[in-house]
Every structure is written in structure tokens, then in C-alpha cells.
A and B are shown apart, each in its own frame.
Chain A
Amino acid sequence: MQNNEVYKDINEDLKWAQINKDILKSMENPRKGYWISVAVCLGLIMFAVVAEIHQYQVGMGAANLNWPHMWDLYIATFIFWIGMSHAGTLLSAILHIMNADWRKPIYRFAEAMTTFSLMTAGLFPMIHLGRLWNMYWVLPYLTDRGIWPNFRSPLVWDAFAISTYLTSSALFLFIGMIPDLAICRDNARGWRKKLYTALSLGWRGDDRQWRNFRRTYLIMACFLIPLAVSVHSIVSSDFAMSIMPGWSVTSFPPYFVAGALYSGCAAIITLFILLRYYFRWEEYMTIAILEKTCKLTFAIAMVWTYLNLIEFCSVWYGHSYADKEVLLAKFSGPYAPYFWGMIFCGSVVPFVLAFEKWRRHLPMMMVVSILLNLGMWLERWMIVTPTLSLSYHPIAHDVMWPSWVQWFIVLGSFGWFGLLFLVFVKVFPSVSMYECKEMVLHRRELASKEISPVMANNPGGGAPAPGVANKSPGVEGS
């Protein structure tokens, strides 16, 4: 049991004041590395903007889209970002409900990731529109023309689902952050003071606030889970609702959701390692938590692989020549390298996660998590493009590769996401302080229970035994 001693989720002797100090420190004067990464992100964004302006002016032809490749990387990347957004929900909502308290130190940035990747994903449907300037026609607003969007279209469902998801997850992120904002308020000065005063909405942590806070948080979590599932099911229906071979697959919704959670978890591992390294948060982002996350990722990876196989089988036994052709084209056609790349990254690489040794090896995990995300991105591309290249009508059989415009915009989206995230970590506490405190307290009590079984059947209300008392926070904290 030596290991378990070493790898604790969190060290219960951690002082509360220390927690505040460590986390708040992360929000202070950035170091050089920070500015460099900001510069990189801005650079990527700039390229993307140039590309988009060009495309806006000359038309979608600039993206090298053609007949029949009406969609390509834009939609693929859109799905990719939507997928990534699901991890935050997984960690903050699902694990919250399941009382897995190891989530507490890492769910905040995961949630931020959710919000930001949604903000990124939201850009793509607009970018890929032929007439961007009429984008708002997808929304049901009252016009004197008395026309509405076509509510039958999965694209409209997307608009609804994504706006709902964005609203909810943003609120969820904010509400969950209020107590921490109060902490920031009490420690900040200058403009930050004003900012946090405004944002913390006068939180003072009295029992009424806490009580309602807990309920609200729980309820929102409960709603966020089905929402997340529905959102990606709806995104999958963009394809599942069509009649195109390789798209109209019944198993797409679960397949997409699995893929979403998968890529999300991978992204969390990446950011986890980065934050841990950058902010020296070994105390909070512990190897033990990383391991748990990795195990979770591995499980999802296997689910994803399974659903993949299911899809292949159902196509194979479905006896629709077109579907089979598309599948075979993926296996052996011009897209084969990317397809097998996806299989490798998505179904082979995760087995690294199965080994404790590697799970605890940060650089390795870094590489793996990035590979996993690459795989997931390829997956989306392999869903969108081969079908277009090779559908029912042979006259339209064709292979087409994206132009620089598409690539720039795709890369730019990563820059955009990165920038948002970088701003976030400096303005908001990216680790939940109050929940770390809860975690510490909780672990401490568990520990104390181990010490004196008496406490077990003695609810916290009663007068505590002295031994326990001097273990309670105040003494050490003050």
C-alpha cells in the first residue's frame, strides 16, 4: 500500500489559507511563457482572420470546396469542438452527482473548456455558410415577412441545442464560481477588486446562500447531463437524418456522444498537465487524480471503439452497396491513411493508459492525450468527407483536398480557444478553492474516522472529542 500513501488525491494536511494562497497566486503577474503562448494564439487567429476575409470576399470556392464536397473541414472541426465541450459536463455534472470528489480540483478548468470550445464550435457553422451575412435567418425571430426557419432541419436543431448548451454551461460555470469569486474579492485590490465585487454578487457565505447554492448546483448538474447528451445526438443527426451512405447510421448519436466524451477527456489530460506544470499545482492536480482521469478516458475509449465496430458491422450486414463502398473506400481508398490513423490514435494508443507506469508518466500522458485528440479530429473528418466523395451517384465520385483557407481557419480555431483559455486562467481561479477546502475537510474527517471509530456513530452536531477538535481547520488555519 506504499503507493496509495504516495498517490493521494489530495493531501488532507493542506491548510486552507495555503489553498487560497496557491490558487490566487495563479492569477497574478504572468510569466514570460504566458505572453509567448498568448502571442502564438493571436498569430494563429490572425492567419485565420485573413483566410476568412478572403473566403468571405471571393466565395466558398476559396476553401476548395466543390461539387460534391459541399462540406469539409469546417463541419468536421465544428463537431470536434462540440465534442470537446462534453468533458466539462462529464467532470462537473456527472461526477458531481456521483459524488466523486476527486473531480473537485480539476473540474473548474474543464468547465471553462466546455464553454470556450462551444464558443469556438459556434463559429464554424457561420464560417461555412455561403452567405455568412444572412446567418441570423436560422434563428426564429419575428419578421414582417412572416417566415421562420425550417424547424425540420437538423441544422436548426443545432442552433437551438448549441445556444441552449452554451447558455446553460456558461451559467453553470459562473454559478459554481461565485464563492471563489468572493474569495478573490476579499483578496484583490484595484480593478480586480471592483470586478470581483461585481461578479461575486455580494456573496458572504451564509447558510442560506450555501443551502440554495448547493441545490441550484445540483439541479443544474442534473439538467446539464441530458442536455449534453441531446446536444451531441442532435449534432449527429445532421448526418444520421440524411439519406447518404455512411451518414444515415442509426448508431450515430451514442457514437458521437462517446467520441465527444473521449476527446473531451483527452483534452482535459492535456490541460491538466499543462496547468500542473505551469502553475506548480502538484498539490492539487495530483498524479492520483490524473490516474483516475486516465482510467475514465480508457473506459470511454473502449466504448468508442466498440461503437465503431458496431457501425462497421451494421453497414456490412446492411447490404446497401453504397454504404459498403463508402466503408471500403475508408479502408482502402484515398482516405485510408487518415482512417487508419484515426483507428490507431483512437483505439490503439489508449491502451497506453492501461499501464499504471505510463499513467503516472506525465510527458507520456501529454503525448498520448494529444494523439487521442488528433484521432478524434480525424474521426470527424472521416465521417464528413468520404461520404461526400463517394455517395450514390457515380458521376459525382471525386476526391478533393482542403485548401490553405480551410487549414488556416481550423488552426485559427485552436488559437481562439487557447486565447480564451489563457485569459480565463489569469482572470478566474481555474481550480475551485472552496471545493478543495471541502475536499480537504472531507478527507480529514475520513482520516479522523479511521482514527476514532467513535466518531463514526457520532454525528458532527455533537461536541467533538478533543482529539478531533485540534484537527479541525481553524487551529491550523489561523
Chain B
Amino acid sequence: MKKCRILGLFGNFDDAFAAIADFKNHKVDGITVDDVTFLSPIEHPDIDDVLGPRPSVIPKVTLCGAAFGITFGFLFLASAQSNFLIQPQGGKAIVPLPSNIVLTYEMMILFSVIFTVIAFLITTRLFRKRKSLYSEKITLDQVAIEFEVDEKYIDQIKGVFKDNHVVEVREEVQS
């Protein structure tokens, strides 16, 4: 039982979408649309409809970032201010809300952004060693469908690709 990776390059979105539609309709049993990895030079506006709903955690992370920014920001300021060796304000508020609100606001944005970016880097699995199955055409003008499946499906998948005027097919057997 070997895992095996296959990638089909298509000349345009419509062929690719058609192929995906086929998988949707279980042309190959055992393969669902969820196994499809779709590579493209741009994000096609209709991609969600084609591939069906696929969730993203980023907004939640951002929310955490914001929350952290607010709490940490304010606490940090407050602790710093209240630890001032000499109270420089001669009787005025030690933890002045107006200025702290301003600064906390900045902190919130800063941490939200940072968290978002980190989340992005993680969820998109960047920094990974590049997969051998990749065509530079993808950043040019072609789209691709990739599967990582059991050996036995390969031929059927190829079939579906062929039906939808695939331009090029690459496969690779993992040891």
C-alpha cells in the first residue's frame, strides 16, 4: 500500500472546475472533493463554491491577539506607571486612563496584526520544504489539481483528468 501523489495541470479554470465537479460526483469512488488540493496563480472568485466550504481559524486567532493586546497593553502600562520610582505628577492620577486608552489601543492593533500574521504563516503551512510536485506554470497562467492518495486510485484520477483536457499530469510514488 503506497501513498502516491498526483498533479494535473489544466489550461484554464473551467476545465479544472469541471474535473473537480466530476470528483464531486464520485466519478472515482473513495475520492471526494475534500481530497482535492487546488493550485492556481490567483484565487478564483468562485473557488469556494467549487471546493465547498473549507474553514479558516485566522479570525479567531486575531480575536485572541486583540484581546491579548488590550489586556497585556493596559496591564503593562499600569504596572510601569504605578512602579514609577518618583511619582512625577504631583498628585494627579497614577494610572491616567486617557493616555492609557490611547496606548492600549495601539497595543491592541499591534498584537492583532502580529497574531494574524503568525496564524497565517502557520495555517498556510508555509516554511515547508517544497513539494516536488509543482509546476512553475502555476504562478504563470495554469491551474492544477493535486491529490495525495492510495496508489490504486491513480489511474481513475488520470482518467478524469484526461476527460477534462488536462495539459500535463505528474505523479510520484512515495517510498
Contact = CB atoms under 8 A, between A and B. Distances in A.
| A and B directly contacting (CB within 8 A) | yes
Interface of A: 15-17, 20, 140, 145-148, 150-152, 156-157, 160-161, 163-164, 167-168, 171-172, 175, 179, 182-183, 185-187, 201-216, 219-220, 223-224, 226-227, 230, 234, 434-435, 437-438, 441-442, 459-461, 463-464, 468-469, 472-475, 477-478
A205 B18 contact: no
B13 to A, nearest CB: 6
B12 A469 contact: yes
6 contacts: A145-B85, A207-B43, A211-B43, A214-B43, A220-B116, A434-B42
Interface in B96-155: 96, 99-100, 102-103, 105-107, 109-110, 112-114, 116-117, 119-121, 123-131, 134, 136, 138-143, 146
B88 interface: yes
Contacts of A185: 139
B40 A212 contact: no
* 3 A-B pairs with the lowest CB-CB distances in the bound complex, closest first: A474-B11, A474-B12, A477-B141
B171 interface: no
Contact of B167 (A16, A168, A478): A478
Nearest to A459: B49
B45 A17 contact: no
Given A147-B85, A204-B130, A204-B134, A152 B99 contact: yes
Nearest to B167: A478
A370 B131 CA distance: 49
A183 B139 contact: yes
Interface in B1-26: 10-15, 17-18, 21
Given A140-B80, A168-B110, A157 B141 contact: no
Contacts of B44: 441, 460
Nearest to A478: B11
Interface of B: 10-15, 17-18, 21, 37-51, 54, 56, 58-59, 62, 76-77, 80-81, 83-85, 88-89, 96, 99-100, 102-103, 105-107, 109-110, 112-114, 116-117, 119-121, 123-131, 134, 136, 138-143, 146, 167
Contacts, number: 216
Contacts of B48: 211
Given A160-B106, A220-B113, A463-B21, A208 B120 contact: no
A381 B96 CA distance: 31
A109 to B, nearest CB: 20
B46 A215 contact: no
Contact of A204 (B39, B77, B140): B39
A474 B10 CA distance: 8
Given A434-B42, A473-B141, A201 B113 contact: no
Given A151-B99, A210-B40, 10 more contacts: A148-B81, A157-B102, A179-B41, A183-B139, A204-B131, A207-B38, A208-B125, A209-B125, A215-B120, A478-B11
A237 to B, nearest CB: 8
